[in-house]
Amino acid sequence: MCGIVCVSGSIDAALILLRGLKQLEYRGYDSAGIAVHEPDGAIRRARAAGKVAALEAAISTPFCGTSGIAHTRWATHGAPTEANAHPHRAGRVCLVHNGIIENFSPLRKELLAEGRSFSSETDTEVVAHLLDRELDLVSDPKVALLNVLSRLEGAFALAAIIEGEPDLVLGARRGAPLVAASGKGAGFLASDIMAITGEATSVIYLEEGDSVLVRPSGIEVYGLDGLPVVRHAVPAPASMAQAEKGNHRHFMQKEIYEQPEVVGRTLAAYLDAASGCIRARDGVDFRAITRLLIVGCGTASYAGQIAEYWFEALSGLPVKVDIASEFRYRNPAFLKGDAALFISQSGETADTLEALRLCKAAGVTTIALVNSPHSAMAREADIVAPTLAGPEIGVASTKAFTCQLAALAALAVLAGHQRGCLDSEAQSGHVANLLAIPSLMGAALKIDQEVDALATELANASIVLYLGRNAFFPLALEGALKLKEISYIHAEGYAAGELKHGPIALIEEDVAVVVIAPHDALFAKTRSSIQEVRARGARVIAITDNAGAAELEGEVSAILKLPDVQGMAAPIVAATAVQLLAYYVAVHKGTDVDQPRNLAKSVTVE
Ligand code: F6R
């Protein structure tokens, strides 16, 4: 949430910063701003409400400095106006910030009492004033920064420049991501290395609590205690190829289509095709675990809910799935032998990260199933289980979700085998089932044009309900989430059997019901739910397979036919259908598919 990019010592700072901001827009797009040290020694600033394109349009004369800071905002304190856009200025200081300063209100009162005045409603401006005030008292910018940080509460990352210090960018990481990098004679700071790929040659993934001074001549890092620390630089990724849309209209479409490849890559990290086994993961011993807690937010939590069915069925291991924001505040009771699995694409989601820390503090073994190998969760968990989806740019998660499912399916088989519930033959049967997923997903994507046609009509629905049973129930939740977040149509997912306990009251003629109904052991039950909603006038769209389609022909308004798929592969393959449906409805509605309103990827605030 919110993107920061800073440079010191580049020939054209503004060019680098504006380019970097575009790469960071996935983190928020309510407003954008830039501040650059100009050759005359002054700091010049430009800000605009809206996306980076609006900022570019607002810059009438080109900037010509070599160092500066920039920000793209997801609003927390204060409306998404130009006045609230970062960088915020106080005296000599210009500052950008990602996260929340929880004690900003008393700090603001303190500063007001000293005669300082504010031009925004943000918590950020308070920090700019504190730094400016501190610089009046101590001349050393590092000491001033550390003194200011000692006054702040909350989780955040920040960066600042100071008039009179044209080469210096200050930064700090306290609960939100920040990387420091160097290359081509310049130093950089950014929320995500993607912002400076192509410029940076080496990168330091800053540790929690680090403060940093970036100059063209080098990077100094200080730990939480303010003492210098050595943080090793690693080569920066060279290419941004994955962050380009290619021939696709939207990142979301590209990412849906990438799934056969990235799910295959993720599976390859877990499955040994030659032996038909799941590769053991260092430190993961499901025999030693008596209960698995699974924690995540949004789509990641739905992946966890699907995995609950798999783990319990294949390994007999009791599983409890929680939403991170609830888990961390309800004083969860732990049992001896608990292990906790945290699912996150970004590895930075504030609630999931805090839930992980809570479990660690309670002595529970923590496993992070993450897509970002350098994220806070990857660094702090006892064990890392990777997904290899590559950068996911579309705000609505697609390929990260199916990669999470692929990894979870493999772990469920591993648990079944380690706990003696699956013999080698059963294990290799599951491995073969999982190995077929990439090509089945490729085949499933062939419904693209049918979905496009169907979406024209669905785009007029007032409410869309999604129904499913067993592992397809959480997939129904995910389908509804996808639709509502990018098309703004009110959508809800329900367990098909739960429908008659209330939600059926919603059914009337302009309500559409998407039923995920594979021809499995529960097909007849799901078919009854279809009859119940149809009898009350709903338009029913069935997502099913060949056998299901043959039985539902004439009973539903439309059928999206997927290949015949068994076992854990089935919900993973069916995910493509709910993703395409949401995608095309949003395209027909003309919404901003990749950057839907009010949302941002990587939710680093509570
Ligand atoms: C929905 C979506 C979100 C994320 C959630 C968790 O399409 O993307 O619900 O799944 O914000 O994010 P991560 O996985 O980064 O922890």
What stretches of 356-424 adopt beta strand conformation (E)?
365-370, 383-386
Selected catalytic residue, list 22, 254, 561, 601: 601
Which of 349, 387, 478 gets mutated to test ligand 1 (max ligand atoms within 8 A of its CB)? 349
Binning pLDDT at 50, 70 and 90, where does residue 27 land? confident
Q: Is 544's C-beta closer than 6 angstroms to any atom of ligand 1?
A: no
Domain edge (last residue) among 241, 259, 285: 241
Within 8 A by CB and 6+ apart from 10, the residues are 16, 66, 67, 184, 185, 186, 199
Average pLDDT over residues 411-421: 97
Q: What is the CATH number of the domain that holds 300?
A: 3.40.50.10490
Residue 583 lies in a domain: yes
303 lies in the same domain as 375: yes
Report CA(369)–ligand 1 centroid distance (Å): 13
Binning pLDDT at 50, 70 and 90, where does residue 545 land? very high
Give the three-state DSSP class for 412. helix
- Please provide the average confidence, as pLDDT, over all residues in the chain: 94
From residue 487, alpha-carbon distances to 25, 84, 105, 259, 452 in Å are 19, 28, 36, 22, 14
Q: Is 375's C-beta closer than 6 angstroms to any atom of ligand 1?
A: no
Give the three-state DSSP class for 516. strand
Position 240 scores a pLDDT of: 60
Contact between 211 and 146 (Cβ < 8 Å): yes
Residue at 66: amino acid letter: T
Q: Is 346's C-beta closer than 6 angstroms to any atom of ligand 1?
A: yes
Report CA(401)–ligand 1 centroid distance (Å): 9
From residue 78, alpha-carbon distances to 107, 125, 191 in Å are 17, 11, 21
Q: Is 298's C-beta closer than 6 angstroms to any atom of ligand 1?
A: yes
Residue 53 lies in a domain: yes
Average pLDDT over residues 308-337: 97
Is 554 exposed, middle or buried, given 0-12, 13-18 or 19+ CB atoms closer than 10 A?
A: exposed
Report CA(447)–ligand 1 centroid distance (Å): 26
Cα torsion at 443, 299, 407, 387 (round to 10°)?
A: 100
Contact between 496 and 525 (Cβ < 8 Å): yes
47 lies in the same domain as 132: yes
Average pLDDT over residues 275-282: 87
173 lies in the same domain as 290: no
Q: How many Å apart are CA 47 and CA 119, to the nearest integer?
A: 13
Report CA(141)–ligand 1 centroid distance (Å): 37
What is the residue whose two structure tokens read 């918590």? 123
Encode 157-176: b = buried (16+ Cβ within 10 Å), e = exposed. bbbbbbbebbebbbbbbbbb
Give the three-state DSSP class for 66. coil
- Which residues pair with residue 32 across a beta bridge? 48, 72
Binning pLDDT at 50, 70 and 90, where does residue 509 land? confident
- Domain limits for position 103: 3-241
Position 602 scores a pLDDT of: 72
Give the three-state DSSP class for 470. coil
Cα torsion at 415, 299, 197, 131 (round to 10°)?
A: -110
Which of 252, 487, 593, 603 gets mutated to test ligand 1 (max ligand atoms within 8 A of its CB)? 603
431 lies in the same domain as 459: no
Report CA(423)–ligand 1 centroid distance (Å): 35
**In terms of DSSP H, where are the helices of 245-371?**
251-257, 259-270, 298-315, 324-327, 350-361
Average pLDDT over residues 60-85: 91
Binning pLDDT at 50, 70 and 90, where does residue 74 land? confident
Helix (H) or strand (E) holding 585: helix 569-589
What is the residue whose two structure tokens read 């849309």? 245
279 lies in the same domain as 330: yes
Q: Is 299's C-beta closer than 6 angstroms to any atom of ligand 1?
A: yes
Q: Is 387's C-beta closer than 6 angstroms to any atom of ligand 1?
A: no
Instruction: Kindly give the number of the ligand 1 atom that is closest to the alpha carbon of 603.
Output: 11
- Which residues pair with residue 172 across a beta bridge? 158, 211
Binning pLDDT at 50, 70 and 90, where does residue 500 land? confident
Would residue 94 show up in a list of annotated catalytic residues for this protein? no
Q: Is 603's C-beta closer than 6 angstroms to any atom of ligand 1?
A: yes
Residue 601 lies in a domain: no
Return the biggest CA–CA distance within the chain: 79
Q: Is 479's C-beta closer than 6 angstroms to any atom of ligand 1?
A: no
Cα torsion at 157, 163, 167, 173 (round to 10°)?
A: -10
Within 8 A by CB and 6+ apart from 548, the residues are 517, 518, 519, 523, 542
Report CA(400)–ligand 1 centroid distance (Å): 9
Q: Is 191's C-beta closer than 6 angstroms to any atom of ligand 1?
A: no
Position 33 scores a pLDDT of: 97
Q: Look at residues 399, 374, 404 and name the one whose alpha carbon lies nearest to residue 387.
A: 404
Contact between 543 and 514 (Cβ < 8 Å): yes
Omega before 141 within 30 of 0, i.e. cis: no
From residue 447, alpha-carbon distances to 451, 453, 534, 574, 606 in Å are 6, 10, 24, 11, 38
Average pLDDT over residues 511-539: 94
209 lies in the same domain as 252: no
Q: Strand 211-215 relative to strand 169-174: parallel, antiparallel, unpaired?
A: antiparallel
Binning pLDDT at 50, 70 and 90, where does residue 244 land? confident
Average pLDDT over residues 224-239: 91
Residue 141 lies in a domain: yes
Position 237 scores a pLDDT of: 84
248 lies in the same domain as 164: no
CA-nearest residue, atom 7 of ligand 1: 396
Helix (H) or strand (E) holding 112: helix 104-113
Q: Look at residues 591, 592, 561 and name the one whose alpha carbon lies nearest to residue 576.
A: 561
More confident residue, 415 or 600: 415
Position 243 scores a pLDDT of: 67
Radius of gyration of the CA atoms of the chain, in A? 25
Domain edge (last residue) among 435, 459, 487: 435
Q: Is the pLDDT of residue 241 over 60?
A: no
Position 77 scores a pLDDT of: 82
Residue 600 lies in a domain: no
CA-nearest residue, atom 5 of ligand 1: 298
For residue range 157-208, list pLDDT tens digits in order. 999 999 999 999 999 999 899 999 999 899 999 999 999 999 999 999 999 9
What stretches of 393-552 adopt beta strand conformation (E)?
463-468, 490-495, 511-516, 539-544
Report how many domains make up the chain. Answer: 3
Domain edge (last residue) among 241, 275, 302: 241
Q: How many Å apart are CA 377 and CA 559, to the nearest integer?
A: 41
Which of 323, 345, 371, 483 gets mutated to test ligand 1 (max ligand atoms within 8 A of its CB)? 345
Contact between 135 and 92 (Cβ < 8 Å): yes
For residue range 149-163, list pLDDT tens digits in order. 999 999 899 999 999
Average pLDDT over residues 104-113: 96
Residues of the chain above pLDDT 70, percent:
99
For residue range 552-570, list pLDDT tens digits in order. 999 999 999 999 999 999 9
173 lies in the same domain as 293: no
Q: Is 352's C-beta closer than 6 angstroms to any atom of ligand 1?
A: yes
CA-nearest residue, atom 8 of ligand 1: 397
Q: What is the CATH number of the domain that holds 150?
A: 3.60.20.10
From residue 483, alpha-carbon distances to 27, 260, 425, 476 in Å are 20, 22, 40, 11
| Angle, helices 569-589/437-444, rounded to nearest 10 degrees | 30
Position 289 scores a pLDDT of: 96
What stretches of 418-496 adopt beta strand conformation (E)?
463-468, 490-495
Other beta carbons within 10 angstroms of residue 66's beta carbon come to: 23
414 lies in the same domain as 513: no
Instruction: Kindly give the number of the ligand 1 atom that is closest to the alpha carbon of 299.
Output: 10
Q: How many Å apart are CA 364 and CA 349, to the nearest integer?
A: 20
Q: Is 297's C-beta closer than 6 angstroms to any atom of ligand 1?
A: yes
Binning pLDDT at 50, 70 and 90, where does residue 106 land? very high
Instruction: Kindly give the number of the ligand 1 atom that is closest to the alpha carbon of 296.
Output: 16
Report CA(43)–ligand 1 centroid distance (Å): 37
Would residue 2 show up in a list of annotated catalytic residues for this protein? yes
What is residue 60's DSSP assignment? -
Kindly report the pTM of this predicted structure.
0.89
CA-nearest residue, atom 6 of ligand 1: 297
Report CA(602)–ligand 1 centroid distance (Å): 7
Instruction: Kindly give the number of the ligand 1 atom that is closest to the alpha carbon of 298.
Output: 9
Average pLDDT over residues 283-291: 92
Residue at 41: amino acid letter: G
357 lies in the same domain as 382: yes
Residue 248 lies in a domain: yes
Report CA(341)–ligand 1 centroid distance (Å): 16
From residue 26, alpha-carbon distances to 208, 348, 353, 424, 577 in Å are 23, 14, 20, 44, 24
473 lies in the same domain as 429: no
CA-nearest residue, atom 10 of ligand 1: 299
Q: How many Å apart are CA 291 and CA 322, to the nearest integer?
A: 13
Is 424 exposed, middle or buried, given 0-12, 13-18 or 19+ CB atoms closer than 10 A?
A: exposed
Other beta carbons within 10 angstroms of residue 280's beta carbon come to: 12
Report CA(397)–ligand 1 centroid distance (Å): 6
Other beta carbons within 10 angstroms of residue 541's beta carbon come to: 24
CA-nearest residue, atom 3 of ligand 1: 298
Residues of the chain above pLDDT 90, percent:
87
Position 242 scores a pLDDT of: 58
Residue 564 lies in a domain: yes
177 lies in the same domain as 311: no
Residue 317 lies in a domain: yes
